[in-house]
């Protein structure tokens, strides 16, 4: 199967599909942290119309999520950026690829009105990671992603700053990259269940 992993610099999801024998490629404007032989370093619009069977997309969430909604009311320019973010998100929703999964955090109401309600919410603790991070999936032509290793009870015994480690990361140049990387257990579940 030909798989496109859109807006992924890490190669985590792409490599999980490649390990299962799929012709998987990542695409991002950033260089990849993994094998560059299977990475398009370019605008996604240049590869979106190629012949793909499945796409897993990770569009930027900065202006779409609940966590950033308060900033909309503090700076009028952010409304324009929200509009651009919605248009970019819709590239994936409206693509002709038969199987599509788009992941993003919980959107605020202004974005949700435009991009539609998510199909499913998952957390890393459903896939063997001792962390909580609500991740929404918009699915087309794919089944819900099923939990593979539920560790919620053990995770809930940890202090809040460990349960939500990514939320508590201090400001740094790497913070956005660390927060956006897909957990390996989730990537493996995608490749196993959708591949």
The answer, yes or no, to whether residue 134 has pLDDT greater than 90, is: yes
**CB distance 9 to 95 below 8 Å:** no
Domain ranges of the chain: 2-194
pLDDT tens per residue, range 38-47: 999 999 999 9
25 three-class SS? strand
Q: What is the value of pTM for the model shown?
A: 0.93
Write down how long the chain is.
195
- DSSP states along 180-192: HSPPHHHHHHHHH
In angstroms, what CA-CA distances link 188 with 94, 146, 171, 172, 191?
A: 26, 11, 29, 28, 5
The Cα angle at residue 153 between residues 15 and 161, in degrees rounded to 5? 75
37 three-class SS? helix
pLDDT tens per residue, range 77-111: 888 888 999 999 999 999 999 999 999 999 988 89
Pick the CATH number of 2-194 from 3.30.420, 3.40.50, 3.55.50, 3.30.300: 3.40.50
């Amino acid at each position: 199967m030909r798989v496109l992993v859109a807006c992924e610099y890490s190669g985590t999801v792409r490599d999980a599909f490649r390990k299962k024998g799929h012709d998987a490629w990542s695409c991002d404007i950033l260089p990849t942290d993994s094998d560059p032989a299977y990475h398009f370093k370019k605008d996604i619009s240049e590869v979106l119309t190629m012949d793909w069977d499945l796409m897993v997309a990770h569009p930027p969430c900065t202006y779409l999520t609940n966590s950033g909604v308060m900033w909309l009311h503090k700076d009028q320019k952010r409304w324009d950026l929200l509009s651009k973010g919605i248009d970019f998100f819709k590239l994936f929703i409206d693509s002709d690829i038969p199987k599509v999964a788009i992941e993003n955090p919980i959107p605020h109401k202004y974005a949700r009105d435009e991009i539609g309600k998510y199909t499913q919410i998952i957390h890393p603790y459903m896939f063997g990671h001792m962390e909580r991070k609500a991740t929404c999936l918009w699915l087309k032509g794919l089944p819900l992603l099923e939990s593979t290793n539920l560790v919620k009870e053990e995770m809930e015994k940890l202090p809040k700053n460990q349960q939500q480690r990514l939320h508590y990361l201090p400001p740094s140049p790497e913070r956005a990259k660390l927060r956006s990387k897909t957990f390996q257990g989730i990537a493996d579940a995608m490749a196993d269940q959708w591949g």
